[in-house]
Amino acid sequence: MPIKLRRSLFARFLLSPFGKITVLAVAMLATVGVGVFTFYYVKYARLIEEKLRDGPFANTSTIYAAPRQVNVGDGADAEELAAYLRRSGYTESNTSRAGWYRVRPDAIEINPGPDAYDPEGAVLKIEGGRVTEIISLADHTPRTQYQLEPELISNLFDSKREKRRIVHFNEIPRVLVSAVLSAEDKHFFEHNGFDPIGIVRAVWADYVRRSKRLEGASTLTQQLARTLWLGQERGWQRKLPETLITLHLEQKLNKQQIFEYYADDIYVGSQGSFRIHGFAEAAEVYFGKDLRQITLPEAALLAGLPQGPGVYDPFRHPDRATSRRNIVLRAMRENGYINEHEYQEAAASPLKVTREAVESSDAPYFVDLVTDNLQTKFPDLDLQGNSYRVYTTLDMTLQRDAVDAVRKGIVETDQQWKARSKKYGTDEFPLAQVALVALDAETGAPLAIVGGRRYGDSQLDHVLAKRQPGSSFKPIVYTAALSSALDPNARTVLTPATTVVDEPTTFWFDEKPYEPADFESKYSGTVTLRQALAHSMNIPAVKVAEMVGYDKVAQTARKMGLNLDIKPTPSIALGAYEVTPLEIARAYTVFPNGGDLLNASFIRSIRNRQGGTVFSSQPERTPAIDPRVAYLVEQMMEEVLRSGTGARVRASGFSLPAAGKTGTSRDGWFAGFTSKVICVVWVGFDDNRDFKLEGARSALPIWLEFMRHAHQHRQYRDVHAFEPPDGIVTAEIDAETGELATPSCPKIRTEVFIAGTQPVQACHLHGRGGVTQVAGWEPVQSQPAVSDSRPVVAEARPAARSKTPQSIPVTPTPQEQPKPKGIFGHLRDLFK
């Protein structure tokens, strides 16, 4: 048809009524379309502008561990310190708000940023593997110590746990850029941000063919728009805003900036309870190295993860990860980024990923406790919408020690239980669970938490699970017993040398019989309280609780911070009432702290975006028991490790001054401490079935492994013996009878007493003489928590075949505590 004729017909159509209606409709649709496009473009442009103004991760609260202290003389390596600073958010260029560092041949220079914990920088000089000098960058003066930036544990972002590590484009190695382009968008630096053909392909696959495998945007800019501003929802209704955001990003940012945002934000997998975002964080998680140090095959592995982080997880699916890596390598070769030789060598290389310290650095159970505390105590703080920095008490070094100890110890426990399971008539072998809690013995601050054998398998935090503590509760029983020396109404005054008979016994309570038994029904006859606790004898424990009163034991437990569910019954002496490992750990703080109960928050401080402190915590110290009683029980617990159920500790070469107690109920326990660290370990089954493995064989090895490594670190190395408070005396006694030793006694030991309660009768089995009086004394003032009690001095006679020791009061006179004299010294005093 001639052109003129076609134009004539078109003009005639436009002038016709139908043509006019058509033109009007098209114009209206175009106007509406432009209006809708403009409205949504402006809407999303404002959203993007707001995000870009503050940075995409500005409104992310972060949780940090406690700062790490470095001292002159400490062993150190510049690269190790650099790795630590990277984990804390530092970079090698001045691009991070946390700070930056520079490694020199003989030193490392640390320059804190505006968000740093400590604004003062320093140069740490290192020679021969040790810090030889610390120079402040503020005034160039020498210092003896320096606090490194606390290590990042987690972000609190969109109510999820996410870890990100921000890097800039010039810090991203070229090999990773090439790998990402080959895997995701090889024309990224050429196109305008989105691919219309890709969108049509997605519509065809998702809605026409109803493919099970949903198609997504193919360009990096579209992926950034989806993940950074729109979330992970899939569907056509998201395509319009995704396209609008993509167009605006391409107008607002250059290609390098877009790639930088993508590299910092893209989701690349999970570890434990944490989502890993960004290639820099992924390099630390999967390879344990800085992003700039990755190799060609490692870059290809990272670039392949965004397509399916769970499918290609190199820890859980190494074969799939290797296959995906090699696909990316092939694409890099086809795109000319690498040659054939490089491709062949990289594709043939084994998959090398490391699990080292992944779970410990995440500390997922600790994070649970912190977030619970934040939600409970600070409901008005918008932690997801504001950039708060939460500093905790977590010691990352001890956390890694704790994870390693649990990992090694639980394997030994599994093997023992599996070997013994047939003895108990079952081939079923469930996996035992475990909990470890470590507190600072001087402040009560939580230092390390392991709430289970693997967070990915169970998120139940066993540190907070209530279980029967068994014999780990007995030190509380003996605390109540020895406090009888301070009670004017006490029926019997008990000391570590008091003797009771360990034999089958029926106890009557509330007109009902209670018949406990010793382990394997083995009984020892007459024993001192020290021996009874050391060897975890059940009958003596119940007898002692009966002497002092079950109500007194329950009251003592509550003073020491245990829950109100503990009832004054005979079974209280054997730890029948449920407590948590965290409660036991906090109760044990009274022993190394002169009777003071310590309670510290998991959160050290909270700062806002401007660096202002919105919360700061101080450990709570509450007098709970008399310091003399605390010292006596601590000394008796040292015997547990020396000759009792915890003797494996000393036999294994752990020689530091320490005390502890095993526990066996349906579970296994060990609770112990030095002057630096308190640690409690629990092992058992989730379904509460009988573990049938004593605490000495299940929990103690884990405790020992942890404490051995914990005290190798400088801040926990200076362990000291526990010093007696005022009002403590020692006396040489016969180990069998608990009476004053004579030269004829075959076994003599030095025992500790609250002054005035030491025995006054010479050993009736091996020596001569009868009851003696001791020099009087003026009582030492009790702590405020027990100020209503006054000392009562008594002599404990042997109870070879009687159910309760007898006591003879002695009148108090002025305080002037004599030094230990032995039997001859006491006899001289008698005849003066």
Helix locations, 55-99, DSSP H: 78-87
Phi/psi zone of residue 163: left (φ > 0), alpha (ψ -120 to 50 degrees), beta? beta
Beta bridge mates, 101: 110
Query: Residues 354, 355, 360, 365: what is their CA dihedral angle, to the nearest 10 degrees?
Result: 140
CA 727-732-737 angle, 5° bins:
110
User: What is the spatial distance between Cα 697 and Cα 648, in angstroms, rounded to a whole number?
Assistant: 9
C-alpha distances in Å from residue 15, one per residue of 1, 7, 19, 31, 91: 21, 12, 6, 21, 70
Beta bridge mates, 681: 436, 670
* E strands, 584-658, in order: 596-599, 603-607, 613-616, 620-623
Cβ atoms of residues 671 and 621 within 8 Å: no
Cβ atoms of residues 600 and 609 within 8 Å: no
User: What is the spatial distance between Cα 702 and Cα 170, in angstroms, rounded to a whole number?
Assistant: 46
Q: For position 171, what pLDDT does the model report?
A: 80
Chain-centroid distance of CA 416 in Å reads: 26
Return the number of other C-beta atoms located less than 10 Å from residue 129's C-beta. Answer: 9
User: What is the spatial distance between Cα 643 and Cα 204, in angstroms, rounded to a whole number?
Assistant: 77
Residue with tokens 């190798």: 712
Q: For position 184, what pLDDT does the model report?
A: 86
User: What is the spatial distance between Cα 121 and Cα 112, in angstroms, rounded to a whole number?
Assistant: 6
Q: For position 502, what pLDDT does the model report?
A: 94
User: What is the spatial distance between Cα 643 and Cα 755, in angstroms, rounded to a whole number?
Assistant: 26
Write down the CATH number for the domain with range 158-355: 1.10.3810.10
Residue with tokens 């079935």: 689
Residue closest to 639 by CA, chosen among 660, 669, 655, 664: 660
- The percent of the chain in helix, strand and coil, each rounded to the nearest 5, is 40, 20, 40
Q: How many residues can be counted in the chain?
A: 832
C-alpha distances in Å from residue 386, one per residue of 59, 98, 300, 654, 731: 5, 17, 35, 47, 63
SS3 809: strand
Residues in CB range of 135: below 8 A, 6 or more apart: 122, 123, 125, 141, 142, 143
User: What is the spatial distance between Cα 322 and Cα 314, in angstroms, rounded to a whole number?
Assistant: 8
Cβ atoms of residues 512 and 551 within 8 Å: no
Cβ atoms of residues 761 and 771 within 8 Å: yes
Residue closest to 624 by CA, chosen among 658, 585, 600, 593: 593
For the chain of 832 residues, list the mean pLDDT of each consecutive stretch of 10: 60 66 73 64 60 54 88 87 83 76 92 87 92 92 92 67 71 92 86 64 56 53 70 55 71 82 85 76 81 91 91 91 94 93 94 60 81 87 78 93 90 76 60 93 96 79 94 97 89 91 93 89 92 96 95 96 91 95 97 96 90 91 96 97 95 96 93 98 88 87 96 91 95 89 90 92 73 33 30 32 30 32 40 37
Residues in CB range of 483: below 8 A, 6 or more apart: 548, 552, 556, 625, 626, 629, 786, 789
Q: For position 768, what pLDDT does the model report?
A: 58
Cβ atoms of residues 742 and 768 within 8 Å: yes
Cβ atoms of residues 436 and 402 within 8 Å: yes
Question: Which H or E run includes 752?
Answer: strand 748-754
Question: Which H or E run includes 197?
Answer: helix 196-203
Cβ atoms of residues 313 and 273 within 8 Å: no
Cβ atoms of residues 194 and 222 within 8 Å: yes
User: What is the spatial distance between Cα 595 and Cα 486, in angstroms, rounded to a whole number?
Assistant: 14
User: What is the spatial distance between Cα 311 and Cα 776, in angstroms, rounded to a whole number?
Assistant: 79
61-153 has CATH 3.30.2060.10 classification: yes
CA 527-531-536 angle, 5° bins:
110
Transcribe 534-598 into DSSP letters.
Answer: HTT-HHHHHHHHHHH-HHHHHHHHHHTT--TT--SSGGGGGT-S-B-HHHHHHHGGGTTTTTEEE
Residues in CB range of 408: below 8 A, 6 or more apart: 702, 705
Cβ atoms of residues 71 and 148 within 8 Å: no
How many Å from the N-terminal Cα to the C-terminal Cα in the chain? 145
Return the number of other C-beta atoms located less than 10 Å from residue 267's C-beta. Answer: 16
Question: Which H or E run includes 267?
Answer: strand 267-271
Cβ atoms of residues 737 and 798 within 8 Å: yes
Residue with tokens 């400590």: 118
Q: 93 phi and psi, to 5 degrees?
A: -125, 165
Residue closest to 810 by CA, chosen among 780, 781, 772, 766: 772
Return the number of other C-beta atoms located less than 10 Å from residue 357's C-beta. Answer: 15
Beta bridge mates, 821: none
Fold of 468-662: Beta-lactamase (3.40.710)
Query: Residues 523, 524, 530, 532: what is their CA dihedral angle, to the nearest 10 degrees?
Result: 0
Residue with tokens 């239980």: 417
